[in-house]
Amino acid sequence: MKSYFYFFLALISIGFLHAQEWQTPVIKGYGEVKYFSEAAVQPDTSLSYDLLFDIKSEATKSGVNKGLWVMARMLNLLSVAGVPSEKVHLVASIHGSATFITLNEEAYHKKFGQPNPNASLIRQLKENGVDLFVCSQATAARKINPDDLDVHITPALSGLSVLSNYQLKGYVLIPN
Identify any residues that bridge with 132 across adjacent strands, giving them in sequence order: 92
| Domains of the chain and CATH, by start | 22-33+47-175 (3.40.1260.10)
Residue 24 and residue 32 in contact, taking contact as beta carbons nearer than 8 Å = yes
Distance CA 65, CA 92 (A): 12
Widest distance between CA atoms in the chain: 74
pLDDT of residue 20: 77
Q: Is the pLDDT of residue 4 over 50?
A: no
- Bridge partners (DSSP) of residue 60 are 65
Give pLDDT, residue 14.
44
Residue 7 has a pLDDT of 42
Q: Where are the beta strands (DSSP E) in 56-110?
A: 60-61, 64-65, 88-94
Closest CA to 153 of 33, 68, 39: 68
Q: Which residue has the higher pLDDT, 52 or 8?
A: 52
Given this model, what pLDDT does residue 148 score?
98
Instruction: State the DSSP code for 30.
Output: S
Model pLDDT for residues 32-81, shown as the tens digit of each residue: 999 999 999 999 999 999 999 999 999 999 999 999 999 999 999 999 99
Q: What is the mean pLDDT of residues 145-160?
A: 98
Q: How far is CA 82 from the centre of its chain?
A: 18
pLDDT-based confidence at 9, cuts 50/70/90?
very low
The CA–CA distances, whole Å, from 100 to 21, 25, 86, 121, 140 equal 33, 27, 30, 14, 12
Model pLDDT, residue 2:
52
Separation of first and last alpha carbons in the chain: 55
- DSSP state letter for 105: H
| Mean residue pLDDT across the chain | 92
